[in-house]
Amino acid sequence: MSLSNYLENKLLTHVFGGTSYVPPASVYVGLFTSSPTDGNIGTEVSGTGYSRQSVSMTVAGTTPTQASSSSDIEFAQAASDWGLVTHIGLLDDSTSGNLLAWSEITDPNDDQAALPKNILNGDVLIILAGNLKVRLD
């Protein structure tokens, strides 16, 4: 995942600038039909039944240390076509807020292989525990 400019600025000023950064009480997963960038949130899904889902992360490992989703992330059943979902983002609010990190959706067995999902009316998208990962290198 790429960190957003917002989060990079918060971390740099926290570590090197003496300005405390208080992490959000909750982090939410959003789905996108266009790629966010470090400075832009992209086009988030807006179909009927869509809402961001909260995620709990576990941090473990060394070289690299990695944060992984600690439980399944299940979106509600789509009540309309949501479109081709190509990216996910982590945000600090359930409806607005700031983009923290983003990534293209990839195959959990090959994080280099794009794996977009066309979400149609009646579909349920589930990201299995451990398959959402944030790693800094």
Each residue of 62-93: pLDDT tens digit? 877 899 999 999 999 999 999 999 999 999 99
Picking from 79, 113, 97, the residue whose alpha carbon sits closest to that of residue 30 is 97
The predicted pLDDT at position 51 comes to: 97
State how far the alpha carbon of 41 is from the alpha carbons of 7, 15, 19, 64, in Å.
13, 25, 25, 26
**Confidence at residue 40, expressed as pLDDT on a 0 to 100 scale:** 84
Angle at 103 between CA 118 and CA 43, to 5 degrees: 60
Q: What is the pLDDT of residue 65?
A: 87
Please tell me the predicted confidence (pLDDT) of residue 61.
Answer: 85
Q: What is the pTM of this model?
A: 0.93
Cα distance between residue 23 and residue 69, in whole Å: 17
* Structure confidence at residue 137 (pLDDT): 67
Q: Name the 3-class secondary structure at 88.
A: strand
Contacts of 43 (CB under 8 A, 6+ apart): 32, 33, 34
Q: Which segments in the chain show pLDDT lower than 50? A: none
User: Pseudo-torsion of CA 89, 50, 105, 62, nearest 10°?
Assistant: 50
pLDDT of residue 9: 96
